[in-house]
Structure 1
Amino acid sequence: MLTILDKYILKRYLVTFLGMLMLFVPIGIMANLAEKVGKIIDNEAPLSEVIVFYGNFTLVIGNLLLPIFLFLSIIFFTSKLASNTEIVAILSSGVSYWRFLRPYLIGATLVAILIFMMGMFIVPNASIGYNEFDYKYFKKGRKVQVTNNIFNQLNENDYIYVSSFDPNRKNGTNFTYEHFGEDKKLDYKISASSIRWIEKDSIYRLTNYVKRNLENNVEQIHTKRRLDTLFTFKIEDLTPISYVAETKNLFELNEFIEDQKSKGASNINAYVLVKYKRWALPIAAFVLTIIAVAVSSVKRRGGMGLNLAFGIGVAFIYIFFDKVFGTLAEQSGFSPLLAVLLPNLIFGVFAVYLLMKAKR
């Protein structure tokens, strides 16, 4: 049962949080628009697509920054309570510090549920339009990083491999296609020094084509300097779209990861990292809430300005840790689970330390 104290703090909590969103989201949109308006005009992006893009932009970027907005809003209104000596009055009336903390945790729970629902089901749908517009108009002609050592199991019988693939040119090197029969023995193997997708003809062009057939333990070899042919696999099977995991909801993402694991995808860590980050964001809401309360509930000589400066510094450090560990997981053998847990664990310990200090 919520008391008057709970309702008072919870109302300030949610109103300040919504006010922070209403303030900073339009600023983020205007800053992005000011940066991208030249490319929008040069590429003649339709106004309707631009409007839809910034709607998706609000959902995608806003969801990532919700814990940070929450953190700053708590520091803002709690510092105000402290400067007005309201917190001293509350604690002097016999209310324990843990009881004072309860409405903050209730608010964090509500925000965590919002983050969870958005991250798992709403934002993935918005991410499709956001990324398609981004690649179509903002990253048009930009060099995309070449992917190396791509191995993919298409089904129980077919496997493909390329040593490198350039998404811009849709060209791969050292291509291999192996087909196994029902007895799990190799039926035939196709290899080529390069494979290229010819979009206008919807065909694959193989250079230095070699096909080896095995029939009754007798090998037959067919070679051609160049061969235009069809395959059952799609060009995306050679290099999945980099943002594909971001466009899938909770259930689709789990199925996609299992499918990629069965195919032996080399960049599986990037997809697993996206999954774990969606679970970590709601936890971050609780960690940052505790830090914000511990910092701002104590009246200081510097007042709200000092608390906000500290809060912004902590927010930047948190984002820095998140990016560093995320990059390690994507580009090395570092565990995606640890990459997501470590920032929250580090700041969780920091939160407990600050909370005990504030309580004293």
Structure 2
Amino acid sequence: MLTILDKYILKRYLVTFSVMILLFIPIGIMAHLAEQIGKMQANEAPLDEILVYFGNFTIYIGSLLFPIFLFLSIIFFTSKLASNTEIVAILSSGVSYSRFLRPYIIGASIIAIIMFIMGMFVVPNASKGFNEFKYKYLKKGKQDRVTNNIFTQLNANDFIYVSSFDPARQIGYNFTFERFDKENQLKFKISAANIRWVEKDSVYRLTTYKKRKIYNDTALVETKRRLDTLFAFNISDLTPVSYAAETKNIFELNRFIKDQKLKGASNINAYVLVKYKRWALPITAFILTIIAVAVSSVKRRGGMGINLAFGIIVAFVFVFFDKVFGTLAEQSGFSPLLAVLIPNMLFGILAVVLLQRAKR
């Protein structure tokens, strides 16, 4: 049962958070539009696609900044409560600090649920539209995927390699297909100067085709200048777009990660990192809420300005740690799980320390 105190703080919590989003998101949209309008005009982006893009941009950027907005909004209104001596009055009336913290935890739970649902199901769809528009009109001509030295394991026995891949023309160069038996012995190997998907005929066209079959100690070689054939893979799946994991809901992402692991994808850590970050986002909401309350509930000589300055510093440090460990996981063998846990553990410890100091 919520008391008058709970309703009062919870209302301030949610209203301040909502107002901050409504204030800063339009500013972000205007700044982004001013920066990119020239590219949109030069590449003749249709108005309807631009409108859809900015709808996706709002959801995509808003989800990234949710924790920061949450953190700063709590510091803002809690500092105001402290400067008006409201917190002193509440605690002097016999309310414990833990009891005073309850409406903040309720508010954090509401925001965490919203962040969880959006991160798992809403943001992926927005991310897909956002990134597709970006590479179509804003980064036209730039590759959105790895295009060199692509190795893919189709299943337990089949392996593919191309030295380079052109997504626009759907063609791979220096193509190799190898099949091994259960004893890991090579059964046959197909190589070609290039492999091209011919959509009209729904076949793969191999140029300078060569097939080498192994029979015990004998090798049979078959060559052709050109061969049209079928393979059990999609040529565009040789190398998924760099933002592939961001565009899938949690169920699709789990299947995608499993599929990429079977294929032996070299950048599997980047996909797993996206998954763990989604699960960690609601936890981050609670950690930042506790830090913000602990920092701003004490009345200071510098007032709200000191608290906001401290909040901005903490927010940037958190983002810095998140980016550093995320980059380590994507570009090295560092565990994606640890990359997500370490920043939250460090700031979780900071939250406990600051909370104990605030109680005293």
Output the TM-score relative to the length of structure 2. 0.91
Aligned residue in 1 for 2:128: 128
RMSD: 2.5
User: For residue 47 of structure 1, what is the aligned residue in structure 2?
Assistant: 47
What is the deviation of 1:232? Answer: 3.9
Give the superposition deviation at 1:161.
2.3
Give ranges in structure 2 of 5+ residues lacking alignment: none
Distance 1:334 1:190, change over 3 A: same
- Structure 2 distance, partners of 1:203, 1:131, is 29
Structure 2 CA distance for partners of 1:258 and 1:143, relative to 1, 3 Å: closer
Which amino acid in 1 is paired with 2:77? F
Counterparts of residues 27-176 of structure 1 (less than 5 Å): 27-142=27-142, 146=146, 149-162=149-162, 165=165, 174-176=174-176
Q: Distance in 2 between matches of 1:310 and 1:26?
A: 25
Query: Could you say what secondary structure the match of 2:239 adopts?
Result: coil
Unaligned 5+ residue runs, structure 1?
none
> CA separation of 1:39/1:198 partners in 2, compared to 1, >3 Å: closer, same or farther?
farther
Query: 1:226 deviation in Å?
Result: 7.0
The Cα of 1:216 is off from its aligned counterpart by: 6.4
Q: Which residue of structure 1 aligns with residue 285 of structure 2?
A: 285
2:264 aligns to what SS in structure 1?
coil
The alpha-carbon deviation at position 187 of structure 1 amounts to 3.6
Alignment-derived partner of residue 300 in structure 1: 300
The answer (yes or no) to whether the contact 1:56–1:129 under 8 Å persists in 2 is yes
SS at 1:253 equivalent:
helix
The answer to whether the Cα contact below 8 Å between 1:150 and 1:265 also exists between their aligned partners in 2 is no
Q: What percent identity do the matched residue pairs reach?
A: 74
**8 A contact 1:152–1:237 mirrored in 2:** no
Cα contact 1:144–1:166 (8 A) shared by 2:
no
**1:95-144, CA deviations, whole angstroms, 9 ceiling, x for partnerless residues?**
11111111001100000000000000111112221111111001101255
Q: C-alpha separation between the residues in 1 aligned to 2:79 and 2:106?
A: 19
The verdict on how the C-alpha distance between 1:17 and 1:271 changes in structure 2, with shifts beyond 3 A counting, is same
Which position in structure 2 is the counterpart of 1:11? 11
Q: What count of residue pairs does the alignment treat as equivalent? A: 360
- Distance, in Å, in 2 between the alignment partners of 1:281 and 1:35 is 29
**Deviation sequence 1:247-275 (CA, Å, 0-9, x none):** 11111111111111112111111110010
Question: Per-residue displacement from partner, 1:215-257 (whole Å, max 9, x unpaired)?
Answer: 4653111345776765442223321111111111111111111
Q: Aligned letter for 1:318?
A: F
> By how many angstroms is 1:156 displaced?
4.9
Measured in 1, the distance between the counterparts of 2:272 and 2:35 equals 32
**Is the CA contact (8 Å cut-off) linking 2:121 and 2:250 kept in structure 1?**
yes
- The residue identity in structure 1 corresponding to 2:10 is L
Q: Which residue of 1 aligns with 2:310?
A: 310
TM-score, normalised via structure 1 length: 0.91
Q: Note the 1:320-331 alignment, pairs <5 A.
A: 320-331=320-331
Asked if 1:335 is matched to 2:335, the reply is yes
